[in-house]
Amino acid sequence: MKFPTQIALARVNARTLVLLTLGAVLTAAGCEGGGGLVDPPDTSVAEVTVTGQPASLQVGQSVRLTATAKNAAGEELRQKTFRWTSSNDAVARVSEEGVVTGVGPGSATITAVSEDKPGTMTIAVSAGPAIAISQVSVNLTAQVGQSAT
């Protein structure tokens, strides 16, 4: 004859055995075929590219450049911030948003940096077209003993 305590203990042991077996099966199934844990995505910047059109400006014109960051797998990383600089502010200036404005003739390298990874683009700035002047009138007034040129 079994006592109630022995019957309850036998039921607990049977349930424990079922749960342990189920846990082992689920663990084994999850490990087969790479279905286990998933690695988190790589969010570190490996490369920065800078693009924009046109690559040449006239003094006073502006263009917005775009910087793109990618990880080592070549996947685009969104939500990255960039620090913009110009190699020659006397030729081209760049804003915090990547807007480049031609200041004087010459060329300047515009750089965008994210996580110490730079991307560059060279911008050529020209003086712009010459302004044609068709006619100029000059009125000179001179007094006796003075010369006018």
pLDDT, tens digit (0-9, with 9 covering 90-100), for 73-82: 999 999 999 9
Check residue 137 and give its pLDDT.
81
- CATH 2.60.40.1080 is right for the domain spanning 47-126: yes
CA distances from 47 to 43, 62, 70, 113, 130 (A): 12, 26, 5, 10, 41
Q: Would you kindly state where each structural domain of the chain is located, as residue ranges?
A: 4-33, 47-126
CA distance 14 to 10: 6
107 φ/ψ angles, rounded to the nearest 5 degrees: -135, 150
19-35 confidence digits (pLDDT tens): 556 555 555 555 555 55
Q: Residue 23: enclosing H or E segment and its boundaries?
A: helix 4-31
Residue at token pair 């081209």: 92
Q: Lowest-confidence range among 26-40, 68-82, 104-118?
A: 26-40
> What is the C-alpha to C-alpha distance for residues 143 and 124, in angstroms, rounded to an integer?
51
The number of residues in the chain equals 149
